[in-house]
Chains A and B, each alone.
Chain A
């Protein structure tokens, strides 16, 4: 495949997996949690690197899941001790993130791991690091890992569709009929962590947030059906990724920044034009009624 082809495929995989997870993130009202996770997985990556002394994608995934779970357990613990919700999220993620930054500065030196890269990502480098797969041949490692993560995310969302629905809508009812709400919570945090870290290489920690939240928030404006919201959100993610890439090529600017910007444009359009909640339909409907 061409260089551009790999980048577009990788970006689309980011859009699809972030868009899918983003729906649950929005409906479970955990957008702040994504903010926290997108920072603390840095610590997971650094520790994985210090332990294994190599920057392999699989080690990073494991490190990210551990860091993600640690983050959510610490936040839960502080909240159960009476620390106010958002404050405990802020305290935990800034602290863990700072530990990650300090470790990079003091222990890692300049071994392929710098803060700017982790925060901003660099999708243009993605095609250079490849892995060899039987039958398929050489493909970029980041693309391969993203495909696996997407499969895991889709399997989890589709396989446990009704369990996600009930624990998101009415956790008290879910618990009362014996669905393990707490297990589902940590499973979700794990999915969020692997999605975030897999998307890191392509778009960086900050842009992951845009990809996680904005396509899902846009999809929410267009539909009242959960299944359709998943499809739209994934589709918006891909659309923003592709549109962002071409915008960046056209304006010769940051790819990840353009992708995040594209998600914002999509949201603005949805906000103005969506049939149920959009400003346009609200402006138009009294006029229709008056005729």
Chain B
């Protein structure tokens, strides 16, 4: 069954092209790591697929359908640094934002939305912090709040931008447990990932990206020394960064 298919996708910032003819297909229920050097266009790829940044061309299908009909079935977790953590709000409130699409225009969230959000915080081990102002949370806790927000969206496909960057070991385990559980429920999950050491442990599929797709497929087939070298260029020291 088809989870995600992308054909001929290109994008630019002003005049400089950052994504060129991106093509790949991923099955439903796959847990995919997007891997590539800094500035490879990983964040941009997620944004362009979700039409948060305009594309120059190409098509994207989610479970065989265009974005327009799938919006409610898609969960997006932006990079943690993309929001202002000093914003006057608390953890529970941030999680409830994931439900705003279901609440409806001009209506305010109801008790059942609050309960759903609490349950998601609980699942991420954050129930005790529900009423804490978000700047008073550690980086790992902030990332758990973002994950909880994605969980309440109850989506079919998830797109997450570096959810494991800068988090503590316990948070990393909690997030990975959640991601595997999503996969277990046949959700299609794409995760931008920066740590080459853990790719083989964490992901069943890999997309190697550097302005275009260098390789993609099942981790065992694709995540090879040669392919990773090709993606990163000469700067990579294979033995130190990837167990061979």
Query: Is A168 within 8 A of B108, CB to CB?
Result: no
A169 to B100, CA, bound (A): 13
CB of B158, distance to nearest CB on chain A (Å)? 11
CB of B120, distance to nearest CB on chain A (Å)? 15
Contact of B84 among A169, A173, A225 (CB under 8 A): A169
Among residues of A, the one whose C-beta sits closest to the C-beta of B79 is A172
Tell me whether chain A's interface is mostly helix, strand or loop, or mixed: helix
A74 to B103, CA, bound (A): 34
Query: Is A176 within 8 A of B108, CB to CB?
Result: no
- The residues of A that contact B74 with a CB separation of less than 8 Å are 176
Among residues of A, the one whose C-beta sits closest to the C-beta of B134 is A224
A226 to B82, CA, bound (A): 20
Query: Is A224 within 8 A of B88, CB to CB?
Result: yes
B48 in the interface (beta carbon within 8 A): no
- The residues of B that contact A27 with a CB separation of less than 8 Å are 84, 87-88
- The residues of B that contact A82 with a CB separation of less than 8 Å are 14-15
CB of A139, distance to nearest CB on chain B (Å)? 31
Among the stretches B18-26, B89-97, B200-208, B222-230, the one at the interface with A is B89-97
- The interface size of chain B toward A, counting residues with CB under 8 Å, comes to 32
A105 in the interface (beta carbon within 8 A): no
- The residues of B that contact A166 with a CB separation of less than 8 Å are 97, 100
A200 in the interface (beta carbon within 8 A): no
A283 to B82, CA, bound (A): 32
Query: Is A177 within 8 A of B52, CB to CB?
Result: no
- The residues of B that contact A163 with a CB separation of less than 8 Å are 100, 105-106
- The contact string, 1 if C-beta is below 8 Å from chain A, for chain B 38-52, is 000000000100111
A256 to B22, CA, bound (A): 58
B235 in the interface (beta carbon within 8 A): no
Question: Top 8 nearest A-B pairs by Cβ distance?
Answer: A177-B101, A224-B133, A176-B76, A178-B71, A172-B78, A226-B88, A169-B87, A82-B14
Q: Which B residues contact A (CB, under 8 angstroms)?
A: 14-15, 47, 50-52, 71-72, 74, 76, 78, 82-84, 87-90, 93-94, 97-98, 100-101, 103, 105-106, 108-109, 133, 149, 153
Further contacts, 19 of them, CB under 8 A, given A175-B51, A226-B87: A27-B87, A162-B100, A162-B108, A163-B100, A163-B105, A165-B89, A166-B97, A169-B94, A172-B47, A172-B76, A173-B78, A173-B97, A174-B100, A177-B101, A179-B101, A224-B88, A225-B90, A226-B89, A228-B88
